[in-house]
Chains A and B, each alone.
Chain A
Amino acid sequence: MIYLKLFWSFVQIGLFTIGGGYAAIPLIQNQVVNINEWMSLAEFTDLVTIAELTPGPIAINAATFVGTRMAGPFGSIVATIGCVLPSCVIVSILALLYKKYSSLNIVQGVLGGLRPAVVGMISSAWLSILALALLNGTTALFGLKTFNPYAACIFAASLFILKKFKISPIIIMLCSGLVGLVVYSI
């Protein structure tokens, strides 16, 4: 029964991915390529590329892609539900606990320590995205051979507009997409 198999595989992926994003890739690979042989490794690499190019969490993208390929639209829905089910259960419990206990002194203390850490982690995510956009993902910050001046201009202009005016970030992204389409296509 392919639906049950899809469902169960993605429940495991959803349950054992902690920290999201790239942490999910080896787990998905294990389920999809190694255990169930739904895809070849080459197809899986393509899937990772697509997931990076399209919006949404990589686990959801993988669930939809694998589900559709194996069992059509219904397969994609089943796999996606499997993927989010562990989150729904665990996070609902956390949400309840947060509502009940977030005003406690001790909990406030723990959360107080976490807030600056979260800011640090967001900064770290920003650095890698900036490197990807401006330097084509190279981590050698001083090897500026891959530096992309157009991307730097789009970055600087977007940041300036965001700081100066209260414009929705989504509009900024759409405009930058248009600019990219024009600039890179010429």
Chain B
Amino acid sequence: MNKSFKFHLKLFAQTFQISAFTFGGGFVIISLMKKQLVEKLGWLDEKEMLDFTALAQSSPGAVAVNASLLVGYRLAGITGAATALLGTILPPLLIITGISYAYDAFQSNIYIQNSLKGMQAAVAAVIADVVINLGGKIVKEKSVLNILVMIASFVCVAFLKVNIILVILVCGIIGLISTLIKGKKGGEK
């Protein structure tokens, strides 16, 4: 665990940057964290990031806040969690405080709206990149169960509007049962 002051500064800078560009829901910040913290900096491995996503989704509160707490804690303990939390809540705090004083000007400014519209398409591209990357890996594992779980949870959430918590619960139980069955088979040998 890296607890130097310099690392905390870096962690703060990263979470601040990521949070400042998290337009949209919790999965946007997860995608940005995966690109920056996993792929670029190598601070975490991919499995941990997916575990943290599931934990952040199923805990109360904003997903972005939960994910940054988990990542910060993993990287540098309690002080890391505090640093990551601060980095994540400062950008919206500053931006919204500004906007709430200049609300009308912001709402009617066509140039701001246009830039935001451009960024929206880029957000879709960033998440597409992450989806292709993660989905490709699941397919390459060639576990039929995992591929089915991935497709089923996509269909359930995207089209059937099933509650995310329910999906997490059911898939956790499926994982548990398949491990128990495998364990039993291993024990009999």
> Per DSSP, are chain A's interface residues mostly helix, strand or loop, or mixed?
helix
Interface of B is mostly: helix
Q: 1/0 per residue B100-119: CB within 8 Å of A?
A: 11010011001101111111
The count of chain A contact residues (Cβ–Cβ below 8 Å) is 99
Any B CB within 8 A of the CB of A26: no
Contact in complex: B124, A133 (CB < 8 Å): yes
Q: Which residues of B contact A143 (CB under 8 A)?
A: none
Contact A115–B54 (Cβ < 8 Å)? yes
Judging by beta carbons under 8 Å apart, are B129 and A65 in contact? no
Contact between chains at A64 and B17 (CB < 8 Å): no
Q: How large is the interface on B (under 10, 10 to 19, 20 to 34, 35 or more residues)?
A: 35 or more
**Binary per-residue interface labels of chain A (98-119) against chain B in the complex, 1 for a CB within 8 Å, 0 otherwise:** 1100100110111111111111
The A-B contact count (CB < 8 A) is: 381
Q: How far is the CB of B45 from chain A (nearest CB, A)?
A: 12
A68 touching B54, Cβ below 8 Å: no
Which 4 residue pairs spanning A and B have beta carbons closest together? A180-B118, A113-B175, A56-B92, A109-B179
16 residue pairs bridging A and B, Cβ less than 8 Å apart = A17-B62, A19-B57, A21-B26, A56-B64, A56-B91, A59-B62, A76-B96, A84-B89, A92-B78, A115-B138, A116-B138, A129-B120, A173-B21, A173-B122, A176-B119, A185-B114
- B positions within 8 Å CB-CB of A: 17-28, 30-32, 35-36, 39-40, 47, 50-51, 53-66, 69-70, 73-74, 78, 81, 85, 89, 91-93, 95-97, 99-101, 103, 106-107, 110-111, 113-132, 134-135, 138, 146-147, 149-158, 163-165, 167-168, 171-176, 178-180, 183
